[in-house]
């Protein structure tokens, strides 16, 4: 990768992030960005505690990983909003490396997602008394990183699909609830119907949730790494699928002159 | 009064048409309650005393609240967004009647989430969904809708009077699911949160609907809950009135409505 491409990757990523959040005050940032996933965590943890089928830590850890998916909304909008903000023709017309341009949209959000997980685990420990005294912290940190990567990759895919269906928020909300239901964060995978179990394997958080529970219980890093590696592969597939779709749509738009209408 | 009713009715009809094609509202009324109902059915069905109607009612309440919350914060803001707010406040019709009409449309739209939650329990999971006290449930349902709608009327002017408040309102969705005790008893919450729950109309709406659907709320206790729902609705309407006057003042006297 050349210096120019590296610069494009980092500058593009930082600006994609700042365009979404720079205008917010710190209070606004916390409410908009962090409060929603944290209260969602609290809600499902309390429902789980009421149900009593699994220990509270089962729900806390599952939903702490789900908070990374807040980044999915940001990235999906950052990609899809190029059209609404009138900047899509410049993106398509620029000579910039498409891979760098596309994947750069999500880079800063990966780290932002990790901050969300830290906040979620803090809430789980301080408010719900989650015991992480035996946790394998490098494993937890890796799980947060992989979960966040998966969220960003999924966001890139949804952002590309939104060029076709025109509503990134609707798609991202739909994806979020599918993730809440199907990744094992709230419902054990063995309880789901077989077709739903198959769907869960295609989602980029299913193995991370399982790995994080192992790490929180003090499991060895090596035992969880294959699970995390599986989710890295799934995330890569979603990200590449998003890029392939973006490329296809760009080619079609150039060929047919339908940039604002594909 | 007749003029206000006409404005109310026209606003309700127009808003229903608007909501029927608004993807976000369709999501709040249909998709979200569906996913919450399915997820919570799986999470609670191991309970020895599991009652599927509890999940149906609770999930429907989440849909109703989400529609009211976003509808309430969007009811006035949509006018500003479309550039029609100044025309609306300058018209002889009451702003209060127009916004209340919009929220009534939203409430009518949100009722579909109850039907959807019922379908999840009865058809997807094959449970027998039985409401034990149907007449009392019907009364509770109407009063609950009025109470939650009244909260929406209170929220509507807040969103336009201060941008910071609007940011806060958009994340109130799950906190009310929690404080309202829609899908678990509020006794699971820390004691210091309970007074907040008791002060919220959605909590009493959940008490009334869960209580009548399970047959555990009747007689004097039911009458008391109905009274609380009516009083809380009245309180919301009374508290909203000066806020609407402030909106009108900003528009007509200060000319600063679009600047907030």
Is B184 in Cβ contact with A36 (below 8 Å)?
no
Q: What is the pLDDT of residue A181?
A: 94
Beta-carbon contacts of B117 under 8 Å, excluding residues fewer than 6 positions away, are B33, B34, B37, B55, B56, B57, B59, B60, B63
The tokens describing A199, both together, are 């769907």
Q: Measure in Å the smallest separation between the Cα of B52 and chain A Cα atoms.
A: 12
Is B43 in Cβ contact with A40 (below 8 Å)?
no
Q: Measure in Å the smallest separation between the Cα of B31 and chain A Cα atoms.
A: 8
Q: What is the pLDDT of residue A46?
A: 95
Is B43 in Cβ contact with A39 (below 8 Å)?
no
Question: Of all residues in chain A, what percent carry a pLDDT higher than 90?
Answer: 48
Q: Is the dihedral of CA A115, A175, B39, B27 positive or negative?
A: positive
Beta-carbon contacts of A239 under 8 Å, excluding residues fewer than 6 positions away, are A103, A106, A152, A153, A156, A157
B165 in contact with A at a CB cutoff of 8 Å? no
Average pLDDT over residues A22-50: 81
Rounded to 5°, angle at Cα B247 from B202 and B62 = 20
Q: Given a cut of 80, is residue A92 above it in pLDDT?
A: no
pLDDT tens digit sequence for A98-140: 777 777 777 788 888 898 999 999 999 999 999 999 999 999 9
- Cβ-based interface (< 8 Å): residues of A facing B: 24-25, 27-28, 31-32, 35-36, 39-40, 42-44, 46-53, 167, 169-170, 173-174, 177-178, 180-181, 186-187, 191-192
Other beta carbons less than 10 A from residue B187's beta carbon: 10
List the single residue in B38, B39, B175 with the smallest CB-CB distance to A39: B175
pLDDT tens digit sequence for B6-30: 999 999 999 889 888 888 888 888 8
Q: What is the pLDDT of residue A4?
A: 78
Interface mutation vs chain A, best among B31, B116, B174, most A CBs within 10 Å: B174
Q: What is the pLDDT of residue B100?
A: 85
Q: Measure in Å the smallest separation between the Cα of B49 and chain A Cα atoms.
A: 10
Q: Given a cut of 90, is residue A215 above it in pLDDT?
A: yes
- Residues of chain B with pLDDT below 70 are 163-167, 256-260
Q: What is the pLDDT of residue B163?
A: 66
Give the orientation angle of helix A70-84 with respect to helix A168-182, to 10 degrees: 160
Q: Measure in Å the smallest separation between the Cα of A49 and chain B Cα atoms.
A: 8
Domain boundaries, chain A: 3-256
Interface mutation vs chain B, best among A24, A26, A39, most B CBs within 10 Å: A39
B162 in contact with A at a CB cutoff of 8 Å? no
Q: What is the pLDDT of residue A261?
A: 59
Interface mutation vs chain A, best among B26, B54, B66, B171, most A CBs within 10 Å: B171
Q: What is the pLDDT of residue A52?
A: 87
Regarding predicted confidence, which is higher, A12 or B241?
B241
Chain B residues in contact with A36 by the CB 8 A cut-off are: 171, 173-174
Q: Measure in Å the smallest separation between the Cα of A162 and chain B Cα atoms.
A: 13
**Which residues 8-27 in chain B show a CB within 8 A of chain A?**
23-24, 27
Domain boundaries, chain B: 2-259
List the single residue in B46, B168, B174 with the smallest CB-CB distance to A53: B46
Rounded to 5°, angle at Cα A170 from B149 and A72 = 115
> Mean pLDDT over all residues of chain B?
87
pLDDT tens digit sequence for B99-130: 888 888 888 888 887 888 888 878 888 888 88
Q: Is the dihedral of CA A170, A175, A178, A179 positive or negative?
A: negative
List the single residue in B42, B177, B183 with the smallest CB-CB distance to A187: B42
Is B43 in Cβ contact with A51 (below 8 Å)?
yes
Chain B residues in contact with A184 by the CB 8 A cut-off are: none
pLDDT tens digit sequence for A39-67: 999 999 999 999 988 999 999 999 999 99
Q: What is the pLDDT of residue B153?
A: 85
Q: What is the pLDDT of residue B79?
A: 82
pLDDT tens digit sequence for A199-211: 999 999 999 999 9
Give the range among A101-110, A136-145, A183-192 with minimum mean pLDDT: A101-110
Is B43 in Cβ contact with A48 (below 8 Å)?
yes
Complex confidence, ipTM: 0.89
Q: Given a cut of 70, is residue A176 above it in pLDDT?
A: yes
Question: Given pLDDT bands bounded at 50, 70 and 90, which one contains residue A24?
Answer: low
Q: Measure in Å the smallest separation between the Cα of A151 and chain B Cα atoms.
A: 19
Regarding predicted confidence, which is higher, A208 or A96?
A208
List the single residue in B39, B170, B188 with the smallest CB-CB distance to A180: B39
B32 in contact with A at a CB cutoff of 8 Å? yes
List the single residue in A39, A44, A51 with the smallest CB-CB distance to B47: A51
């Amino acid at each position: 990768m050349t210096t120019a491409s590296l610069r494009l990757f980092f500058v593009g990523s930082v600006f994609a992030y700042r365009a979404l959040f720079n205008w917010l005050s710190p209070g606004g940032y916390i409410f908009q960005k962090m409060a929603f996933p944290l209260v969602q965590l609290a809600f499902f943890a309390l429902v789980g505690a009421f149900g009593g089928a699994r220990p509270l830590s089962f729900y806390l850890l599952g939903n702490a990983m789900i908070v990374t998916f807040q980044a999915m909304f940001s990235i999906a909008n950052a990609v899809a909003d190029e059209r609404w903000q009138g900047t899509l023709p410049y993106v398509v017309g620029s000579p910039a490396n498409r891979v760098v341009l596309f994947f750069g949209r999500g880079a800063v959000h990966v780290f932002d997602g990790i901050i969300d997980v830290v906040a979620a685990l803090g809430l789980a420990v301080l408010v719900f008394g989650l015991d992480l005294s035996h946790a394998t912290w490098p494993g937890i940190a890796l799980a947060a990183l992989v979960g966040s990567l998966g969220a960003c990759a999924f966001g890139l895919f949804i952002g590309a699909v939104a060029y076709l269906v025109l509503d990134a928020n609707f798609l991202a909300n739909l994806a979020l609830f599918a993730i809440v239901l199907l990744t094992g964060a709230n419902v054990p995978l063995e309880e789901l119907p077989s077709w739903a179990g198959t769907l869960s394997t295609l989602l980029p958080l299913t193995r991370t949730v399982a790995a994080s529970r192992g790490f929180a219980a003090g499991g060895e890093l090596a035992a969880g790494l294959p699970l995390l590696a599986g989710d890295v592969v799934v995330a890569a597939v979603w990200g590449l699928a998003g890029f392939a779709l973006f490329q296809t749509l760009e080619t079609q738009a150039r060929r047919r002159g339908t940039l604002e209408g594909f | 009064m007749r003029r206000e009713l006409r404005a109310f009715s026209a606003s309700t009809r127009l808003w229903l048409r608007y909501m029927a094609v608004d993807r976000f509202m369709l999501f709040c009324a249909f998709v979200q309650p569906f996913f919450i109902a399915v997820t919570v059915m799986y999470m609670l069905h191991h309970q020895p005393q599991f009652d599927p109607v509890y999940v149906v009612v609770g999930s429907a309440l989440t849909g109703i609240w989400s529609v009211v919350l976003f509808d309430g914060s969007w009811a006035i803001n949509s006018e500003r967004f479309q550039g029609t707010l100044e025309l609306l406040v300058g018209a002889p019709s009451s702003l209060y009647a127009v916004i209340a009409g919009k929220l009534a449309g939203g409430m009518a739209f949100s009722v579909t989430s109850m039907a959807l939650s019922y379908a999840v329990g009865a058809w997807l999971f094959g449970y027998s969904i039985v409401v034990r006290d149907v007449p009392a449930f019907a009364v509770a349902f109407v009063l609950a809708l009025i109470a939650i709608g009244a909260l929406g009327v209170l929220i509507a002017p807040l969103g336009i009077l201060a941008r910071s408040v609007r940011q806060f309102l958009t994340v109130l969705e799950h906190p009310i699911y929690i404080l309202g005790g829609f899908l678990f008893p509020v006794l699971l919450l820390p004691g210091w949160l309970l007074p907040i729950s008791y002060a919220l109309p959605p909590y009493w709406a959940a008490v009334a609907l869960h209580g009548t659907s399970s047959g555990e709320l009747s007689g004097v206790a039911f009458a008391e809950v109905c009274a609380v729902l009516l009083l809380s609705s009245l309180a919301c309407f009374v508290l909203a009135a000066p806020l609407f006057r402030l909106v009108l003042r900003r528009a007509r006297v200060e000319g600063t409505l679009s600047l907030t």
